[in-house]
Structure 1
Amino acid sequence: MTTLKEYKVHRKELKAQIKEVKATLKRLEKELEEERQDMQHEEVDHLDEYFDQAEPHLVDVKKLGVSAIDDFKKSVSKLMNSITGSHKE
Protein backbone atom coordinates (compact mmCIF):
# COMPACT_ATOMS: atom_id res chain seq x y z
CA MET A 1 0.00 0.00 0.00
CA THR A 2 1.22 3.47 -0.95
CA THR A 3 1.60 5.99 1.81
CA LEU A 4 0.38 9.54 1.54
CA LYS A 5 3.97 10.77 1.50
CA GLU A 6 4.91 8.41 -1.36
CA TYR A 7 1.80 9.47 -3.26
CA LYS A 8 2.72 13.16 -2.91
CA VAL A 9 6.30 12.51 -4.05
CA HIS A 10 5.08 10.49 -7.03
CA ARG A 11 2.50 13.16 -7.88
CA LYS A 12 5.17 15.86 -7.72
CA GLU A 13 7.42 13.83 -10.04
CA LEU A 14 4.57 13.34 -12.50
CA LYS A 15 3.77 17.05 -12.49
CA ALA A 16 7.43 17.81 -13.17
CA GLN A 17 7.39 15.36 -16.10
CA ILE A 18 4.22 16.95 -17.45
CA LYS A 19 5.81 20.38 -17.20
CA GLU A 20 8.90 19.12 -19.00
CA VAL A 21 6.83 17.49 -21.76
CA LYS A 22 4.81 20.69 -22.22
CA ALA A 23 8.03 22.70 -22.50
CA THR A 24 9.39 20.22 -25.06
CA LEU A 25 6.14 20.37 -27.03
CA LYS A 26 6.21 24.16 -27.01
CA ARG A 27 9.84 24.16 -28.20
CA LEU A 28 9.07 21.66 -30.99
CA GLU A 29 6.02 23.65 -32.11
CA LYS A 30 8.18 26.78 -32.25
CA GLU A 31 10.82 24.95 -34.32
CA LEU A 32 8.13 23.65 -36.65
CA GLU A 33 6.68 27.14 -37.14
CA GLU A 34 10.16 28.56 -37.82
CA GLU A 35 10.82 25.82 -40.36
CA ARG A 36 7.46 26.48 -42.05
CA GLN A 37 8.25 30.19 -42.29
CA ASP A 38 11.73 29.47 -43.66
CA MET A 39 10.20 27.26 -46.34
CA GLN A 40 7.71 29.99 -47.26
CA HIS A 41 10.50 32.56 -47.51
CA GLU A 42 12.49 30.19 -49.69
CA GLU A 43 9.51 29.78 -52.03
CA VAL A 44 9.04 33.56 -52.17
CA ASP A 45 12.72 33.92 -53.03
CA HIS A 46 12.18 31.63 -56.02
CA LEU A 47 9.07 33.41 -57.34
CA ASP A 48 11.03 35.37 -59.95
CA GLU A 49 12.50 32.11 -61.20
CA TYR A 50 9.04 30.54 -61.40
CA PHE A 51 7.68 33.57 -63.27
CA ASP A 52 10.57 33.39 -65.72
CA GLN A 53 9.82 29.71 -66.34
CA ALA A 54 6.11 30.40 -66.81
CA GLU A 55 6.50 33.38 -69.14
CA PRO A 56 7.02 31.41 -72.39
CA HIS A 57 3.91 29.38 -71.61
CA LEU A 58 1.90 32.53 -70.96
CA VAL A 59 2.96 33.90 -74.34
CA ASP A 60 1.71 30.67 -75.95
CA VAL A 61 -1.60 30.98 -74.10
CA LYS A 62 -1.93 34.59 -75.27
CA LYS A 63 -1.25 33.60 -78.90
CA LEU A 64 -3.77 30.77 -78.63
CA GLY A 65 -6.37 33.15 -77.19
CA VAL A 66 -5.83 35.71 -79.95
CA SER A 67 -6.04 32.96 -82.59
CA ALA A 68 -9.24 31.59 -81.06
CA ILE A 69 -10.83 35.04 -81.05
CA ASP A 70 -9.86 35.59 -84.70
CA ASP A 71 -11.31 32.20 -85.66
CA PHE A 72 -14.50 33.00 -83.75
CA LYS A 73 -14.84 36.38 -85.50
CA LYS A 74 -14.40 34.69 -88.89
CA SER A 75 -16.98 32.04 -88.03
CA VAL A 76 -19.50 34.65 -86.86
CA SER A 77 -18.86 36.68 -90.00
CA LYS A 78 -19.43 33.60 -92.22
CA LEU A 79 -22.60 32.77 -90.29
CA MET A 80 -23.93 36.32 -90.65
CA ASN A 81 -23.08 36.31 -94.37
CA SER A 82 -24.91 33.02 -94.89
CA ILE A 83 -27.93 34.28 -92.96
CA THR A 84 -28.12 37.58 -94.85
CA GLY A 85 -27.27 35.98 -98.18
CA SER A 86 -24.14 38.07 -98.60
CA HIS A 87 -21.12 36.17 -99.91
CA LYS A 88 -18.31 38.59 -99.26
CA GLU A 89 -15.61 37.49 -96.82
Structure 2
Amino acid sequence: MEVFTRDDAGYAVVADPAFLNAAVIAGLYGVPASGVQIFRLPQLRVVKISFPRPVSQGSLRDRDMHAGQHHVPLALLPLPGTP
Protein backbone atom coordinates (compact mmCIF):
# COMPACT_ATOMS: atom_id res chain seq x y z
CA MET A 1 0.00 0.00 0.00
CA GLU A 2 1.08 3.54 -0.61
CA VAL A 3 -0.02 6.71 1.11
CA PHE A 4 0.44 9.65 -1.25
CA THR A 5 0.23 13.12 0.28
CA ARG A 6 -0.53 16.45 -1.35
CA ASP A 7 2.05 18.55 0.46
CA ASP A 8 4.89 18.50 2.96
CA ALA A 9 2.54 19.15 5.89
CA GLY A 10 0.47 16.07 5.05
CA TYR A 11 3.60 14.01 4.56
CA ALA A 12 4.91 15.11 7.96
CA VAL A 13 1.77 13.70 9.59
CA VAL A 14 1.71 10.29 7.91
CA ALA A 15 5.49 9.82 7.92
CA ASP A 16 5.71 10.39 11.68
CA PRO A 17 6.62 7.02 13.26
CA ALA A 18 4.59 8.00 16.33
CA PHE A 19 1.48 8.03 14.12
CA LEU A 20 2.15 5.29 11.57
CA ASN A 21 4.33 2.37 12.57
CA ALA A 22 4.46 -1.43 12.40
CA ALA A 23 2.37 -1.86 15.56
CA VAL A 24 -0.41 0.35 14.17
CA ILE A 25 -0.47 -1.52 10.85
CA ALA A 26 -0.41 -4.87 12.66
CA GLY A 27 -3.44 -3.83 14.69
CA LEU A 28 -5.37 -2.53 11.69
CA TYR A 29 -4.73 -5.54 9.48
CA GLY A 30 -4.32 -8.40 11.94
CA VAL A 31 -0.79 -9.24 10.82
CA PRO A 32 2.37 -9.72 12.89
CA ALA A 33 4.24 -6.44 13.42
CA SER A 34 7.46 -8.28 12.60
CA GLY A 35 6.28 -8.73 9.01
CA VAL A 36 5.40 -5.07 8.44
CA GLN A 37 7.81 -2.88 6.50
CA ILE A 38 7.35 0.87 6.17
CA PHE A 39 9.30 2.94 3.67
CA ARG A 40 9.21 6.72 3.91
CA LEU A 41 10.01 8.56 0.67
CA PRO A 42 10.10 12.30 1.43
CA GLN A 43 11.15 13.30 -2.11
CA LEU A 44 7.86 11.87 -3.38
CA ARG A 45 5.80 12.58 -0.23
CA VAL A 46 4.88 8.89 -0.11
CA VAL A 47 4.83 6.28 2.63
CA LYS A 48 4.87 2.69 1.36
CA ILE A 49 3.59 -0.05 3.64
CA SER A 50 4.26 -3.71 2.95
CA PHE A 51 3.18 -6.87 4.75
CA PRO A 52 2.52 -10.47 3.71
CA ARG A 53 -0.96 -11.29 2.47
CA PRO A 54 -2.94 -13.54 4.80
CA VAL A 55 -3.75 -15.89 1.88
CA SER A 56 -2.12 -16.43 -1.49
CA GLN A 57 -3.30 -14.09 -4.24
CA GLY A 58 -5.92 -15.72 -6.40
CA SER A 59 -6.48 -18.61 -4.00
CA LEU A 60 -9.96 -19.82 -3.14
CA ARG A 61 -9.96 -17.81 0.11
CA ASP A 62 -8.64 -14.58 -1.47
CA ARG A 63 -11.44 -12.01 -1.09
CA ASP A 64 -9.52 -9.10 -2.62
CA MET A 65 -7.37 -10.42 -5.45
CA HIS A 66 -5.84 -7.06 -6.40
CA ALA A 67 -5.78 -5.65 -2.85
CA GLY A 68 -8.12 -2.89 -4.00
CA GLN A 69 -9.79 -2.72 -0.59
CA HIS A 70 -6.65 -2.88 1.54
CA HIS A 71 -6.72 0.88 2.02
CA VAL A 72 -10.00 0.92 3.99
CA PRO A 73 -8.67 0.23 7.53
CA LEU A 74 -5.88 2.75 6.99
CA ALA A 75 -8.28 5.34 5.56
CA LEU A 76 -10.42 5.01 8.70
CA LEU A 77 -7.46 5.71 11.01
CA PRO A 78 -8.10 9.11 12.65
CA LEU A 79 -5.47 11.73 11.96
CA PRO A 80 -3.82 13.37 14.96
CA GLY A 81 -5.92 16.21 16.32
CA THR A 82 -9.21 14.91 14.87
CA PRO A 83 -12.01 13.23 16.81
With normalisation by structure 2, the TM-score equals 0.20
Whose helix proportion is higher, 1 or 2? 1
With normalisation by structure 1, the TM-score equals 0.19
Whose strand proportion is higher, 1 or 2? 2
Higher relative contact order (Cα pairs below 8 Å, separated by 6+ residues): 2
Instruction: Give the number of the structure whose alpha-carbon radius of gyration is greater.
Output: 1
